[in-house]
Structure 1
Amino acid sequence: MDWMAWTWPTAIFFMVIASLLVTFTVLALKFPETPRRGVLGMETTRGDRLFITLLGSAFINLGWLGLVGAAQPYALIVCLIYAAAVFRWV
Structure 2
Amino acid sequence: MAELKVSVVSADHEVWSGAAKQIIARTTEGEIGILPGHEPILAILSAGEVRVTTMDGNVITATASDGFLSVEHNVVTVVSRQAELV
Note whether the superposition's TM-score is higher than 0.5. no
Structure of greater relative contact order (alpha carbons < 8 Å, 6+ residues apart): 2
Whose helix fraction is larger, Structure 1's or Structure 2's?
1
Bin the TM-score by the shorter chain: under 0.3
Higher gyration radius (CA): 1
Whose strand fraction is larger, Structure 1's or Structure 2's?
2
State TM-score, norm by structure 2: 0.22
State TM-score, norm by structure 1: 0.21
